[in-house]
Amino acid sequence: MKNEDKQLHVRLPDEVYKKLKVRCVHEDISMQEYVAKLIAGSLGEYSNEKQPDQEEAARKSKRRR
Protein backbone atom coordinates (compact mmCIF):
# COMPACT_ATOMS: atom_id res chain seq x y z
CA MET A 1 0.00 0.00 0.00
CA LYS A 2 1.40 3.39 -1.00
CA ASN A 3 1.53 6.12 1.68
CA GLU A 4 0.22 9.28 0.02
CA ASP A 5 0.08 12.74 1.55
CA LYS A 6 -3.38 14.18 2.08
CA GLN A 7 -4.45 17.77 1.52
CA LEU A 8 -6.13 20.04 4.03
CA HIS A 9 -7.55 23.44 3.13
CA VAL A 10 -7.70 25.96 5.95
CA ARG A 11 -9.19 29.44 6.00
CA LEU A 12 -7.19 31.93 8.06
CA PRO A 13 -7.87 35.52 8.96
CA ASP A 14 -5.76 37.85 6.83
CA GLU A 15 -3.68 39.01 9.81
CA VAL A 16 -2.86 35.43 10.87
CA TYR A 17 -1.91 34.55 7.30
CA LYS A 18 0.45 37.54 7.10
CA LYS A 19 2.11 36.63 10.40
CA LEU A 20 2.50 33.03 9.27
CA LYS A 21 4.06 34.15 5.99
CA VAL A 22 6.55 36.43 7.79
CA ARG A 23 7.48 33.67 10.24
CA CYS A 24 8.09 31.20 7.42
CA VAL A 25 10.23 33.66 5.46
CA HIS A 26 12.20 34.43 8.63
CA GLU A 27 12.75 30.70 9.32
CA ASP A 28 13.38 29.91 5.63
CA ILE A 29 10.70 27.21 5.56
CA SER A 30 7.64 26.74 3.37
CA MET A 31 4.25 27.48 4.89
CA GLN A 32 3.17 23.92 4.13
CA GLU A 33 6.17 22.43 5.91
CA TYR A 34 5.80 24.80 8.89
CA VAL A 35 2.10 23.99 9.39
CA ALA A 36 2.68 20.25 8.89
CA LYS A 37 5.39 20.30 11.58
CA LEU A 38 3.12 22.21 13.97
CA ILE A 39 0.32 19.70 13.51
CA ALA A 40 2.60 16.66 13.81
CA GLY A 41 4.20 18.10 16.93
CA SER A 42 0.87 18.84 18.58
CA LEU A 43 -0.31 15.27 17.95
CA GLY A 44 2.63 13.87 19.92
CA GLU A 45 2.24 10.13 20.24
CA TYR A 46 -0.06 10.06 17.21
CA SER A 47 2.60 11.24 14.77
CA ASN A 48 3.77 9.05 11.88
CA GLU A 49 6.07 7.06 14.17
CA LYS A 50 3.30 5.58 16.29
CA GLN A 51 -0.37 5.40 15.44
CA PRO A 52 -2.61 3.44 17.79
CA ASP A 53 -4.68 0.62 16.40
CA GLN A 54 -8.44 0.64 16.95
CA GLU A 55 -8.30 -1.67 20.00
CA GLU A 56 -5.69 0.48 21.74
CA ALA A 57 -7.70 3.65 21.01
CA ALA A 58 -10.84 2.02 22.44
CA ARG A 59 -9.00 1.00 25.63
CA LYS A 60 -7.69 4.52 26.12
CA SER A 61 -11.14 5.95 25.51
CA LYS A 62 -12.70 3.64 28.16
CA ARG A 63 -10.04 4.59 30.74
CA ARG A 64 -10.80 8.29 30.30
CA ARG A 65 -14.49 7.86 31.16
What is the span of the domain harbouring residue 35? Answer: 12-43
Residues 3-16, mean pLDDT to the nearest whole number: 92
Q: What are the b/e assignments for 6-40, b being 16+ CB within 10 Å? A: eeeeeeeeeeeeeeeeeebeeeeeeeeeebeeeee
pTM, to two decimals: 0.60
**Total residues belonging to the chain:** 65
- Name the residue with higher pLDDT: 52 or 22: 22
Q: Are 31 and 21 in contact (CB under 8 A)?
A: yes
Residue 29 lies in a domain: yes
Residue 65 lies in a domain: no
Query: Cα(16)–Cα(22) distance, rounded to whole angstroms?
Result: 10
Domains in the chain, number: 1
Residue 7 lies in a domain: no
Q: What is the pLDDT of residue 5?
A: 87
